[in-house]
Chains A and B, each alone.
Chain A
């Protein structure tokens, strides 16, 4: 009837993958290796090409150019039903006419696996819903459907599990809980997970490696800590958490560090954390790395003087300040409420300081707002 599904294993390799729809290029010359057994996240705003990339891996879209390898097997044009790859779809796409049991058994039956009962009950135990086997999908809550969608995919023990915004339809609390469970299940079953999301917190919680995508290309790839602490572009700095980017010029060197002039004030930046290609630079500092101090209080590290508190928001664990600097820029500062000192009040004159190792440098010709106007919580993919 049809060719048997192939049994490839190993790292997933995308080579110069491009997908165009007419004039629009959704995925642009993307190359990527996803190591076997890892939890990999493709993170980016709506329309960045991450879902298209996932659909090409699943076989639901054919690349315009480029190739996809699983281990040593070229699967670029292999039909979806022949790939040892399963997907957890965005809205689960459970079969409404089948029971939960039959939904999960679907893939096993298609491949003629013998002991369907045992495999299904094992995976139902794993997602902790064994009592729902005889229900129909419409009788389940969103969170339960999500787990069944996951069970339906992992029961096949695919070489690769694709997750397309799997938690997008759940409320915040359930989403956080499922993130931890997904991570645990991935460790438990030891499969390679490729997870597509626009939620940076979700990606950081779960993934070993994150590839941040923008306009069909990968902006930067690395561990969550790498990307957060040492972003290479303004897009990554703004999309992953928040950043203060201050325009400046490199005015000198001091051993392993650059001396950067920020509107007349000198700060230090480690050379290996600078991604500028000439003397024009944006100095980046995460809001929680700043410390605020009253004038006259001794401070160390990089110091910027002449600020005054423009706005104060008390949010329990921390207080968020907007500090206006002499050159007119407002900097964002998050202070932990752990020192017993009452928050600063609006209008107070303050200095700002931070440890030099927390400074990162971006190219001076970048758009400092790239990636910041996107509010991931409000966007729905496609």
Chain B
């Protein structure tokens, strides 16, 4: 009897926590999303009227920001993958004794706050930073071009902030690859590029999938980068939800947008994981 109960007892703290801080708020959010303002009531007073067209209204009104969120998140994810893959590969295969030290460096940004680092980017890319004058002097950008308050800055900020989330799972799965399988590939007439395409990349797919998900999902819902590094023209859906909730006090629209975002991400992720076929991998 005791043996059967033990696993459930072990589940209890986690379940209790998630129930209180995840399930209950979600239910609450779901209820809010179909509410309408109380006729003649104060700002922020809503009653349940099961108005499902809140969803349609919210989406139609903000489809531009939705689209932008997913485009930015996608670009940031691809950039992060392009930067993190060689980095993780180098640490895993060429790191030697410095492997652990290099991994510490990868997570080192977490020692300071996310917000602070994003503000620092604002300064680096600002007029007083060294990047803009240098690029102007080299003639890469025109004298009037600025980098802050652009979509470029927002995407760069997201790429930077989510890079460790891409690097760590990639490292974990590349590090597990037996270097002898790569030697075997070379022995079996595959050159370096073919070996990468046919052996290294497929064997690191679990890391690619995990890393892209860990980057894309938070990036799609992010509002800090767009708020600090962007302009009204680079607003993402996270910024809309934030302002609806805290500034306009339009709880139902904010809730409906949150659910829509969640649903879209869920659908995209399901399709992606199916396509990537991780269950086929070891």
Contacts and interface: CB of A to CB of B under 8 A. Distances in A.
Tell me what chain B mostly uses at the interface: helix, strand, loop, or mixed.
helix
A106 B198 CA distance: 9
B199 interface: yes
Given A60-B183, A110-B194, A138-B282, A93 B188 contact: no
Contact of B282 (A1, A82, A93, A97): A97
Interface residues of A, number: 29
Interface of A: 1-2, 5, 58-60, 79-82, 85-87, 89-91, 93-97, 106-107, 110-111, 136, 138, 152, 156
B182 to A, nearest CB: 9
Tell me what chain A mostly uses at the interface: helix, strand, loop, or mixed.
loop
A245 B181 CA distance: 45
Interface string B47-60: 00000000000000
Interface of B: 178, 180-181, 183-191, 193-194, 198-199, 202-203, 205, 280-282
A136 B191 CA distance: 24
B172 to A, nearest CB: 16
B190 A93 contact: no
A89 B184 CA distance: 8
Nearest to B188: A107
Given A1-B193, A87-B184, 13 more contacts: A58-B187, A79-B186, A80-B186, A80-B187, A81-B189, A89-B180, A89-B183, A93-B180, A94-B184, A95-B181, A96-B282, A110-B189, A110-B194
A132 to B, nearest CB: 17
9 contacts: A80-B183, A81-B186, A81-B187, A87-B184, A91-B180, A93-B180, A94-B181, A94-B184, A97-B282
A87 B190 contact: no
A82 B187 CA distance: 8
Contacts of B187: 58-60, 80-81, 85-87, 89
Nearest to B204: A97
Contact of B199 (A1, A95, A136): A95
Contact of A106 (B190, B191, B193): B190
Nearest to A4: B189
Contact of A156 (B186, B188, B205): B188
Nearest to B184: A93
A85 B281 CA distance: 29
Contacts of B194: 110
Contact of A2 (B185, B191, B205): B191
B184 A5 contact: no
